[in-house]
Amino acid sequence: MSRIDLHLHTTHSDGSLPPAGVLALAKQAGVSALAITDHDIVDGIPEAIKIGADLGIEVIPGIEISSRWGDAELHILGYFLDWKDQALNRRLEQVRTGRHRRNPQIIEKLNALGLALTYQEVQELAGTESVGRPHIARVLMQKGYVQSAKEAFDRYLAEGAAAYVPRELPDPAEAIAWLRAARGIPVLAHPVWAKQDEAGLLKLCEKLKSEGLMGIEVHYSTHKPQQTKDYLNIATRLDLLVTGGSDFHGVTKPDIEVGIGRGGLKVPSKLLEPLRKAATTS
């Protein structure tokens, strides 16, 4: 029985290899079908499909969308999506930048710290639609609150500093809805990230299913055997599709290999047909 790998990253997000490099490794590992699932971007898909056709590997269009659930980040994988869908691409663009809502929040925090500036002043200085933290730093310099952009970042704007605002992310329900609207199959990635025990995770998956979730990533490079069993149980109880993948990133996760994860991963190719069937009937 051949293996598949439905969770792979390339240089189009935070992976270190381009699609061609990932596909070459997949070929070596005996992977018969795979999905490129870059974070919040679909740009690697056409290239991967083309190379896959040459290598005899089926490439399923995929993506991984980051979302926020309380203090946890939940990642929603999407499969067989219409990656050219314009609404989806507009939404992904928003997730990637997230700036238009983040900047005023940074200004509010600075105001609360006693620094008098308005977002309008920052926009005027920037003179572009693409306003970012460097522009805020320059207004702080002009007003004499800091001596340099470095000081502005160190004291206020860098991650962990006084006026830092994390990147805004959609709710899991939004990410799921976006994928469904683009005829994709939403799947909860690496369920361990939800930081729940089995009962808590079951409840979460029930809620996500009511919001359109269709699958759960049961097989994953770092899942322990008991976790794989628990997630499989949840999938069976809730009638969710089962998927799996390595989450290969290249040099940033050097212990994870395409197709085999840390060596013990084997995602059976028989999981693909139910996924494909769901894609054509949903």
* Closest-approach residue to Zn ion (CB): 75
Q: Smallest gap, in angstroms, from Cβ of residue 209 to Zn ion?
A: 19
Q: Smallest gap, in angstroms, from Cβ of residue 245 to Zn ion?
A: 8
Task: Answer yes or no: are the C-beta atoms of 193 and 73 closer than 8 Å.
Answer: yes
Complex with Zn ion: residue 5 or 64, whichever CB lies closer = 64
Cα–Cα distances (Å) from 232 to 35, 102, 128, 229, in that order, read 21, 38, 50, 5
Q: Judged by CB under 5 A, which stretch of 24-32, 149-157, 183-191, 203-211 contacts Zn ion?
A: 183-191
Complex with Zn ion: residue 10 or 103, whichever CB lies closer = 10
Q: Smallest gap, in angstroms, from Cβ of residue 221 to Zn ion?
A: 10
Complex with Zn ion: residue 14 or 108, whichever CB lies closer = 14
Complex with Zn ion: residue 22 or 140, whichever CB lies closer = 22
Burial grade of 270 (CB within 10 A; 0-12, 13-18, 19 or more): exposed
Complex with Zn ion: residue 75 or 180, whichever CB lies closer = 75
Complex with Zn ion: residue 230 or 247, whichever CB lies closer = 247
Q: Judged by CB under 5 A, which stretch of 141-149, 187-195, 211-219, 222-230 contacts Zn ion?
A: 187-195
With a CB cutoff of 8 Å and minimum separation 6, the contacts of 265 are 219, 220, 221, 244, 246, 259
Q: Smallest gap, in angstroms, from Cβ of residue 144 to Zn ion?
A: 43
C-alpha 40/C-alpha 86 separation (Å) is: 14
Q: Which of residues 18-47 bind Zn ion (CB under 5 A)?
A: none
Cα–Cα distances (Å) from 19 to 46, 78, 80, 150, in that order, read 10, 18, 17, 36
Question: Binding to Zn ion by residue 3, rule CB under 5 A?
Answer: no
Window 47-66: contact mask with Zn ion (x via CB under 5 A): -----------------x--
Task: Answer yes or no: are the C-beta atoms of 241 and 187 closer than 8 Å.
Answer: yes
Cα–Cα distances (Å) from 35 to 20, 82, 96, 222, 228, in that order, read 13, 14, 21, 18, 20
AA identity, residue 247: D
Question: Binding to Zn ion by residue 75, rule CB under 5 A?
Answer: yes
Q: Which of residues 237-266 bind Zn ion (CB under 5 A)?
A: 247
Q: Smallest gap, in angstroms, from Cβ of residue 108 to Zn ion?
A: 30
C-alpha 17/C-alpha 25 separation (Å) is: 10
Task: Answer yes or no: are the C-beta atoms of 233 and 198 closer than 8 Å.
Answer: yes
Closest CA to 140 of 129, 128, 152: 152
Question: Binding to Zn ion by residue 95, rule CB under 5 A?
Answer: no
Give the one residue of 65, 189, 216, 272 binding Zn ion; rule: CB under 5 A: 189
Q: Judged by CB under 5 A, which stretch of 141-149, 188-196, 213-221, 226-234 contacts Zn ion?
A: 188-196
Question: Binding to Zn ion by residue 12, rule CB under 5 A?
Answer: no
Complex with Zn ion: residue 163 or 189, whichever CB lies closer = 189
Complex with Zn ion: residue 212 or 245, whichever CB lies closer = 245
Residues that bind Zn ion (CB under 5 A): 64, 75, 189, 247
